[in-house]
């Protein structure tokens, strides 16, 4: 039983670090969008284990989620502006 708890805690620590790294990469314009989505996905899986066990790297996970959310919003906005601009040029509205 103790090995299972240790494995879960180690996995939470590693996943929190990965979430933080992917969240920071998610701040890169356009190419960061997949990283931001991956960070949000990883955070969701960590949260399920955090309900049962204490996560020492919780601040890393939180900062990863904040970065990923910001990167997702900014990346989606930039992508929308680029797509609208392409559509306007294609329609001759430029």
pTM score, whole prediction: 0.85
Beta carbons within 10 angstroms of residue 27's beta carbon: 16
Break the chain into its structural domains and give their ranges: 2-91
Q: For the packed helices 33-50 and 58-91, what is the interaxial angle rounded to 10 degrees?
A: 150
Beta carbons within 10 angstroms of residue 33's beta carbon: 19
- Torsion angle (degrees, nearest 10) of CA 75, 70, 41, 55: 160
**Which of 30, 12, 32, 11 is closest to 77 using CA atoms?**
30
For the stretch 36-89, pLDDT in tens is 999 999 999 999 888 899 999 999 999 999 999 999 999 899 989 999 999 999
């Amino acid at each position: 039983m103790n090995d299972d708890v240790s494995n879960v805690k180690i996995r939470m620590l590693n996943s929190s670090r990965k979430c933080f790294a992917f969240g920071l990469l998610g701040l890169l314009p356009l190419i960061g969008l997949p990283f931001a989505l991956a960070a949000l996905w990883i955070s969701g899986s960590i949260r399920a284990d955090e309900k049962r066990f204490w996560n020492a790297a919780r601040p890393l996970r939180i900062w990863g989620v904040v970065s990923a959310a910001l990167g997702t919003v900014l990346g989606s906005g930039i992508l929308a502006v680029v797509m609208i601009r392409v559509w306007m040029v294609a329609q001759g509205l430029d």
